[in-house]
Chains A and B, each alone.
Chain A
Amino acid sequence: MTLWRHWIVGQIDASIAAAVLLAVAVLLRHRLSPSVRSFILLMALIRLALPPWVRSPWSEALVDIPPIDDGRTLIAMGLQSDIAMIAAAISATVSIVLFARIAWTFITAEHRWLATTSPVPAVWIEGAEIRLSDNEGPLAVGMRRPLIVLPASAMKLDRDALDAVIAHELAHHCRRDLWWIAVAEALRAIAWFNPLAHLAARALVASREDGSDDWAVRKTSNDPFSYAQALLQSARLVASPQPLGVAGAHPMGKRLRRLLDSGATRDGQPGAAAIVLLIVCAALAIPGAHMPSPSDGDDQRIVIVIKKP
């Protein structure tokens, strides 16, 4: 029984620590900058993924069970208890399956997306390759070869909206968000049985989205309202009927509230990410079928120099 007590106490211990961090990051969404929130949530996930014999000082003071020194003691104790071994085996198996899935996705992602999307020669930006998909996107994918996948309908967007969408996806690549997501997924795979790990991973993704929103606003119009409108304009193009059984508001509501809160703390205030001067060159005329090109000549290139913050 001691082993179970250790495990349960360890989980409660980790959960309390993670819950506090999670609460701070979620409740202070407007007050903390997205990067700070990302780090807080990363700490929460790491705490949940630590082995059960790591205990916080306060829980050692409060709960009196003989400490386990290291993994070997743990295994020795486990060998005396069949159920504990079975539980550990199940837990490890699930983690390994989840890891394998992450690894597989990591290895195959670029290839799969390149195979199912087509290039857009007309739109070029530094830092990523733009691809068109029938109905996926807009999304950023590809950790070794940065891709931005736009739905074909995105070509109907007006210039500002398209800029905003591309800038947002480019932000994910420049801010290494896919790596953050991968790390969050890996930690979640270790602590998969704890619901807090799923909440924290999700909040971490949301913090990366917020950060990319800030980045994109800074690099384009510098006006959060027109940026928000651009996002919604592109949402209209890919809108799908409400999936069934889904209740509750869309997560974008909270994201927009933060984005449009003039008092919210932003990333890179001032100049942390000012290293990159981003130049977007987009010649929007060529794939004629979808392009809004009433006055554009075939060879007309529109160059956006995205402003330095």
Chain B
Amino acid sequence: MSVKIPEAEADVLAVLFDAEEATARTVRERLVKKRPMAHGTVVTLLRRLEDRGLVKRRKADQGKAFVYRPTKAHARTFGPVVSSLMQRAFGGKPAALVASLFETRPPSPQEIDELEALVEQLRNKAK
């Protein structure tokens, strides 16, 4: 079974899968570059994901916020998982006939940090 969800929700879910657990605020912060949204929008998206049974929420240990986490059961039915597998297996959009600067996908901020460290390291070695 596969579940099709709107892109905005998919992005939010992607953050949750990455972070395992996050508040609406964290989600908003993580997505600020890719998809700037108001706090209320993020909460609505999280609500919808909850209605779909894709995330669960619980009261945070401190403060009033809710902490959301993806339900494991649906991890495999989630479109982006399949597409990211496709990307890994087939090297990007199959037959898209484009040459993309970042090959399979743009690196994540964490990966960019690592790549920058690598450049620095190679620069020092070259000296």
- The residues of B that contact A231 with a CB separation of less than 8 Å are 101
Q: Are B112 and A236 in contact (CB under 8 A)?
A: yes
Least CB distance, B9 to chain A, in whole angstroms: 13
The interface size bin for chain B is 35 or more
Q: Are A252 and B98 in contact (CB under 8 A)?
A: no
Least CB distance, A188 to chain B, in whole angstroms: 8
Most A Cβ at <10 Å: residue of B97, B109, B116: B97
Given A181-B99, A236-B112, A241-B15, 7 other A-B residues pairs in contact with their CB atoms under 8 A: A135-B34, A140-B98, A181-B98, A205-B99, A241-B31, A244-B84, A245-B84
A225 CA / B118 CA spacing, docked (Å): 11
- The residues of A that contact B83 with a CB separation of less than 8 Å are 243
A–B pairs, 19, beta carbons within 8 Å: A102-B97, A137-B100, A137-B101, A138-B101, A141-B98, A165-B101, A177-B99, A205-B91, A235-B101, A235-B102, A241-B31, A243-B87, A244-B17, A244-B18, A245-B84, A251-B103, A253-B115, A255-B103, A256-B119
Q: Are B119 and A239 in contact (CB under 8 A)?
A: no
Q: Does A190 contact B (CB under 8 A)?
A: no
Residue on A with the closest CB to B33? A239
Among A202, A239, A245, A257, contact of B90 (Cβ-Cβ < 8 Å):
A202
Q: Are A235 and B84 in contact (CB under 8 A)?
A: no
Q: Are A243 and B98 in contact (CB under 8 A)?
A: no
Top 7 A-B pairs ranked by shortest CB distance? A244-B17, A202-B91, A242-B108, A172-B99, A243-B84, A139-B100, A141-B98
Identify whether the interface residues of B are mostly helix, strand, loop, or mixed.
Answer: helix
Using a CB–CB cutoff of 8 Å, the interface residues on chain A facing chain B are 98, 101-102, 105-106, 109, 135, 137-141, 143, 165, 168-169, 172, 177-178, 181-182, 185, 189, 198, 201-202, 205-206, 208-209, 212, 225, 228-229, 231-232, 234-246, 248-253, 255-257, 260-262
A222 CA / B126 CA spacing, docked (Å): 16
Q: Are B110 and A242 in contact (CB under 8 A)?
A: yes
Q: Does B52 contact A (CB under 8 A)?
A: no
- The residues of A that contact B92 with a CB separation of less than 8 Å are 205
Q: Are A178 and B111 in contact (CB under 8 A)?
A: no
Least CB distance, B117 to chain A, in whole angstroms: 10
Q: Beyond A256-B118, A256-B119, is A240–B100 a contact (Cβ under 8 Å)?
A: no
Residue on A with the closest CB to B16? A244
- The residues of B that contact A172 with a CB separation of less than 8 Å are 99
Residue on B with the closest CB to A246? B84
Among A102, A205, A232, A234, contact of B119 (Cβ-Cβ < 8 Å):
A232
A262 CA / B108 CA spacing, docked (Å): 27
Q: Beyond A202-B91, A242-B111, is A212–B99 a contact (Cβ under 8 Å)?
A: yes
Q: In the complex, which residues 77-100 of chain B have their Cβ closer than 8 Å to any Cβ of chain A?
A: 78, 80-81, 83-85, 87-92, 94-100
Residue on A with the closest CB to B116? A232
- The residues of A that contact B96 with a CB separation of less than 8 Å are 105
Q: Are A106 and B109 in contact (CB under 8 A)?
A: no
Q: In the complex, which residues 9-43 of chain B have their Cβ closer than 8 Å to any Cβ of chain A?
A: 11, 13-15, 17-18, 30-31, 33-34
